[in-house]
Structure 1
Amino acid sequence: MPPVETMEVDSPVTEVEVEITKKDVKDVDTTTTEDIREQLRQVEKSVITKEPRFVFRVLRSLPNTRRRLNPAVLRRIILHSYSYSIKERDNLLNLVGGDDSLDVVSPIQRTRAPKQGASSPLPERIQEGILCSDQLMQKITTQNRRTLDLLAARCYFYHSRTYELAGKLDSIRSFLHSRLRTCTLRKDFEGQAVLINCLLRNYLFYSLYDQADKLVSKSVFPESGSNNEWSRYLYYLGRIKAIQLEYSQAHTHLLQAIRKAPQHTAVGFKQTVQKLLVTVELLMGDIPERHIFRQSTMRHALAPYFQMTQAVRLGDIHRFNQVLENYGKTFQADHTYTLIIRLRHNVIKTAIRAISLSYSRISLADIAHKLLLDSAEDAEFIVAKAIRDGVIEAWLDHEGKFMQSKESIDVYSTKEPQLAFHQRITFCLQIHNQSVKAMRFPPKAYNKDLESAEERREREQQDLEYAKEMAEEDDDGFP
């Protein structure tokens, strides 16, 4: 008799477990609602005291709050906050939709699904989001309060993000320009920084690099912008400079973008910047360090770029073509495909440099065979250009159809050590200047050591009494 196979059967869910599940969901929603109400009180406190640091505190906690949102929490906040405008309250309630019963995990989902958080992510309802974002912009544009600047800047970002997800990013370009002019006139530095980044992203989304470069040249990014906005701005600047063949400036901007990015969060942003930075370093003729590709957060994302780096380092044209064929779609999704195509010349230069170091004399036909070129004439043109650019030290014999390498020159007798030393000193000075600019002090800290008017009167009174006592002692000293 064959053995009977055992089957896993879901255990029946009792009413007590269902009640416990509902209670856990309600407790999480209640905690989230109380946190949001406390944030609203912080915003109100910021308006009363005119101190923006309370709003900064609320904005820093916004990513954590966003993960815990669900329709039930949104309805509670709307009912609690919109007591003065019934029309707006009903409109927002219609946009949120759903009821309390839909937010509780069903017993079947609880037994068959893996353990998850009580609050699931909200679905992406793009059209409702556009409608809500338009209403929010109508309300913000009618206000002119400096205490609203930080919140309005964050609203501009989400407004642009909503239209980007809908594929209608070009339709709000004129609106963003008008708000940028308004923020510039009102000295709204945070809004100005966010709007410049939104416009740059708008242009780069449609590959309008010339318009983006004109925007950078015609506008001034505020020095008091937050580090996050500075990181975005420097990344967009690096993309523009890389397309314009200004690789040194692009490398500098991308390095600064990584340094200003958050250390423990924003992993996706740092991966995007690092992909572009690796490509730019390869275009500059440098090879990125291996530890960059070994980081746990970068290993999988930079795997195609690691193989590309190996192909460039070895000067292997065949391997370069193979990597480009295998990961072409990945490079296009990362917006680095155009730059990767340019790396073919770097691969050829590296191969020519390796050939010149390995052979004192080699025929052009052999060079064409090693570089996978069509003819010896193509190899002659490429070698001549490499000699003219200073890539190799050699000379060509047109009649003999060969390349003759020159004797190697001592590097320390050239200007290369001086240039490398100058580059390192410049880098250190830039870090020092940026550190000084990034220093922050607590508000009104300069008044800490200054005495008040009352303390000054007490001190002067004590000085007068002490002077009188000294005069009396002097009088007592004479008969």
Structure 2
Amino acid sequence: MVKNMDVEMKDTSSPKKNAEKTENSNGVGEEEPKKDPDLLTLEDIREHVRHIEKAVATKEPRYVSRVIRGLVSIRRRLNPVVLRKLLQGYLNSNVALKEELLEFVVDSGPEPNGVTPFRPKSGKAIVLLPEVETYLHLLVVIYLIDLKKYAEAVKCAESLVQKVSVQNRRTLDMLAAKCYFYYSRAYELTQQLDKIRTFLHARLRTSTLRSDFEGQAMLLNLLLRNYLNFNLFEQADKLVSKSTFPESASNNEWARFLYYMGRIKAAQLEYSEAQKYLQQALRKAPQHSAVGFKQIVQKLCITVELLMGDIPDRHLFRQPSMRKTLAPYFQLTQAVRTGNLAKFNEVLAKFGAKFQGEDTYTLIIRLRHNVIKTGIRMINLSYSRISLTDIAQKLMLDSPEDAEYIVAKAIRDGVIEANIDHEKGFVQSRETSDVYTTREPMAAFHSRITFCLDIHNHSIKAFQTFFKK
């Protein structure tokens, strides 16, 4: 007779769990120790140096372009330890330059025991390429600017630019353009932009003669920024009329140039041209970065649209990246749209300092006339007959005579259709005519069609450039 016996069943774990247990018992599955971040930075810079050497050997500028794109990542990780190791490892053949740059790097004490100093993998004692020296020198300038040591940054950038200026190597052009940018930035942060204007003009002439398109685009933008910083709009316009911006410039330089052109045209009351340039600048700007640049352009574009009599779309103010920074401009738009002069003055008093810091205050002051015109249009639609005294009260004007002058000007400009009775002191509205009997709809459709055709042409040109590359 067979007895029933209770048999204990063993847990059957998955092979993955068994492997994990085995690895944990052997100590194999433990996380690898993290590498020193300074060592990783040095390796990345060494890779950049290899790209520069390869660009010089093959005469291919795309390798240098890759190095310049990587500057953003390297910039965040620069520190005295990394820079000291770089300078001591690479600049052995140029002792004078090494000592000069080491003076700008903050001494962080001796290196820890057991840490070997950084050296390039190539053990050959060869003379360093001018491109590599320029790159290392540029890293020091960027480091000083980030530390807000602007006086030392000016001195270091001055030394860098003087060395770059005497070189005549096409492989150095893209790095030289970046050097000019940080050179101008250092002087801008010390409020000395006017001192370098002559030098930038000289370098622009040289770059144009040498067909250095990257340098030409960078220097032209730096000069425009220099002029606009001092509100020298006429000189900036003359510079643009006498120069030609290179078609092969990068999208970033094109975006800056178009923004500066928009500012110049807006100051010269050419609002349609200004709006066109600003919209092109927004299209040329990077889609997922450069948020600050797009915010600045959008603020100016909204102001120009209001000056043209248009109201910006509400969705512009609802974008997550724009909502906070465009809040004052949203209130300004509401005041202009409703023709509320009291609210316009309130917004101007509240955000006047902010508008001045963003270089839009002068343009916003011009909006006062637009607010008054909108208010007159609203009054004309609401009342068939109204006294000049009531108009002066609604528009917060000083006297009925001021209201009479403004209404007469609005009638002459075609803003409203009305008659003024000067003896009895009132405004009589006329019957509004059908807008479709005028040429206004045709002009509106024409502007929209022109805009669509411009986008189509730019897209075709972009495809052609892509296929050529």
Same-fold call, TM cutoff 0.5: yes
CA distance in 2, matches of 1:312, 1:371: 13
Of residues 301, 306, 318 in structure 1, which corresponds to 2:330?
306
User: In the alignment, is the contact (CA less than 8 A) between 2:144 and 2:150 conserved in 1?
Assistant: no
Q: What corresponds to 1:415 in structure 2?
A: 439
Q: For residue 308 of structure 1, give the secondary structure of its aligned residue in structure 2.
A: helix
Is 1:50 the counterpart of 2:59? The answer is yes
Q: Deviations over 1:77-97 (max 9, x none)?
A: 222221210110111111112
**CA 121–92 in structure 1, closer or farther in 2 if over 3 Å, else same:** closer
CA distance in 1, matches of 2:353, 2:150: 26
CA distance in 2, matches of 1:24, 1:325: 58
Q: For residue 327 of structure 1, give the secondary structure of its aligned residue in structure 2.
A: helix
> What is the root-mean-square deviation of aligned Cα atoms in Å?
2.1
User: In the alignment, is the contact (CA less than 8 A) between 1:69 and 1:121 conserved in 2?
Assistant: no
Deviation of 1:444 after TM superposition, in Å, equals 7.9
Q: What corresponds to 1:216 in structure 2?
A: 240
Q: What corresponds to 1:70 in structure 2?
A: 79
Is 1:266 the counterpart of 2:266? The answer is no
**CA 374–222 in structure 1, closer or farther in 2 if over 3 Å, else same:** same
Deviation of 1:100 after TM superposition, in Å, equals 5.4
Q: What corresponds to 1:282 in structure 2?
A: 306
Counterpart amino acid of residue 254 in structure 1: L
Is 1:171 the counterpart of 2:195? The answer is yes
Deviation of 1:314 after TM superposition, in Å, equals 0.8
Q: For residue 245 of structure 1, give the secondary structure of its aligned residue in structure 2.
A: coil
Is 1:148 the counterpart of 2:172? The answer is yes
Of residues 154, 159, 180 in structure 2, which corresponds to 1:130?
154
Of residues 81, 92, 105 in structure 2, which corresponds to 1:83?
92
Of residues 448, 452, 455 in structure 2, which corresponds to 1:424?
448
**CA 211–322 in structure 1, closer or farther in 2 if over 3 Å, else same:** same
Deviation of 1:58 after TM superposition, in Å, equals 1.3
- Residue segments in structure 2 that go unaligned for 5+ positions in a row: 1-31, 113-142
Q: What corresponds to 2:105 in structure 1?
A: 96
CA distance in 2, matches of 1:442, 1:310: 43
- Residue segments in structure 1 that go unaligned for 5+ positions in a row: 1-22, 104-118, 446-479
**CA 378–144 in structure 1, closer or farther in 2 if over 3 Å, else same:** same
Q: For residue 324 of structure 1, give the secondary structure of its aligned residue in structure 2.
A: helix
CA distance in 1, matches of 2:111, 2:351: 43
Q: 1:46-445, aligned counterparts within 5 Å?
A: 46-99=55-108, 122-439=146-463
Counterpart amino acid of residue 409 in structure 1: S
Q: For residue 95 of structure 1, give the secondary structure of its aligned residue in structure 2.
A: coil
Number of aligned residue pairs: give it.
408
**CA 281–443 in structure 1, closer or farther in 2 if over 3 Å, else same:** closer
Deviation of 1:68 after TM superposition, in Å, equals 1.3
Deviation of 1:177 after TM superposition, in Å, equals 0.2
CA distance in 2, matches of 1:24, 1:389: 76
**CA 102–368 in structure 1, closer or farther in 2 if over 3 Å, else same:** farther
Q: Deviations over 1:411-463 (max 9, x none)?
A: 22211221111111111111122222223667987xxxxxxxxxxxxxxxxxx
**CA 310–444 in structure 1, closer or farther in 2 if over 3 Å, else same:** closer
**CA 154–120 in structure 1, closer or farther in 2 if over 3 Å, else same:** closer
Q: Deviations over 1:332-387 (max 9, x none)?
A: 00011101111100000000010111111111111111000111111011001001
Counterpart amino acid of residue 84 in structure 1: S
Q: What corresponds to 2:119 in structure 1?
A: none
**CA 258–96 in structure 1, closer or farther in 2 if over 3 Å, else same:** same
CA distance in 2, matches of 1:442, 1:54: 18
CA distance in 1, matches of 2:145, 2:249: 31
Please, which moves more after superposition, 413-422 or 336-345?
A: 413-422
User: In the alignment, is the contact (CA less than 8 A) between 2:258 and 2:278 conserved in 1?
Assistant: yes
Identity %: 63
CA distance in 1, matches of 2:464, 2:42: 32
User: TM-score normalised to the size of structure 2?
Assistant: 0.84
User: In the alignment, is the contact (CA less than 8 A) between 2:316 and 2:322 conserved in 1?
Assistant: yes
User: In the alignment, is the contact (CA less than 8 A) between 2:144 and 2:153 conserved in 1?
Assistant: no
CA distance in 1, matches of 2:459, 2:367: 35
**CA 122–209 in structure 1, closer or farther in 2 if over 3 Å, else same:** closer
CA distance in 2, matches of 1:148, 1:250: 35
Q: For residue 427 of structure 2, give the secondary structure of its aligned residue in structure 1.
A: strand
CA distance in 1, matches of 2:245, 2:466: 24
CA distance in 2, matches of 1:284, 1:89: 57
Q: For residue 409 of structure 1, give the secondary structure of its aligned residue in structure 2.
A: coil
Q: Deviations over 1:388-429 (max 9, x none)?
A: 111111121112211111112212221122111111111111
Counterpart amino acid of residue 265 in structure 1: S
Runs of 4+ in structure 1 over 6 Å off = 23-26, 442-445
Of residues 46, 68, 73 in structure 2, which corresponds to 1:37?
46
CA distance in 2, matches of 1:133, 1:291: 43
